[in-house]
Amino acid sequence: MGESIKTREEVEELKAAWANDPIWDIEDTEGFEEHHDELLAFRKEWETEWGVRRTAELTEYAKKIGAPGLLELADFYQREMGAREHWMGEARRYLQHYLGEHVTGDAMNRSDCLAEIGMIVEFIVQAAESSCFAHVALEIAKAKEA
């Protein structure tokens, strides 16, 4: 009650804002109740398009990693590799901050220290990946025996 009917321009502005940051169900936007069906159709259209794009991206990525057709695996692998890169970056950042500043007092040795920190992070990641590979191989072997 007391709500003003939104103009076409306001509806289009809402759609543009949502398309830039689609973190809510646009059809439930307060003040746009009279446009619920239109906004719901708009959201579903975008979600369908995103799904088509994502499927195409995963199809290409699956081929790239040597697993053509295995889209769920490609999606999982891509997310895990992204997480790996994130945590490697965090490890580097913390090590550089806490060790790089404190281990060496001069700028000359600082760059050497940072390079060595990078190598340490790589070694840690390699150890973790080896452990994961061993666990996966064990689980596959167990599943084959069952």
pLDDT of residue 2: 44
pLDDT over threshold 80, residue 125? yes
Indicate whether this model's pTM tops 0.75. no
- Structural domain spans, the chain: 8-60, 70-145
Average pLDDT, the chain: 84
- Alpha-helical regions (H) of the chain: 8-20, 36-64, 71-95, 101-103, 107-145
pLDDT tens digits, one per residue of 8-40:
999 999 999 999 999 999 999 999 999 999 999
Percentage above 70 pLDDT, the chain: 84
pLDDT band at 139 (very low <50, low <70, confident <90, very high): confident
pLDDT over threshold 70, residue 116? yes
- Residue with the two structure tokens 């769920």: 72
Structure tokens at 26: 């646009």
pLDDT of residue 41: 97
pLDDT over threshold 60, residue 1? no
pLDDT of residue 19: 94
Q: Please tell me the distance from the alpha carbon of residue 130 to that of residue 135, in angstroms, as a whole number.
A: 9
pLDDT of residue 20: 94
Q: Please tell me the distance from the alpha carbon of residue 123 to that of residue 120, in angstroms, as a whole number.
A: 5
Q: Is the dihedral of CA 116, 119, 121, 127 positive or negative?
A: negative
pLDDT tens digits, one per residue of 52-80:
999 999 999 999 988 889 898 889 889 88
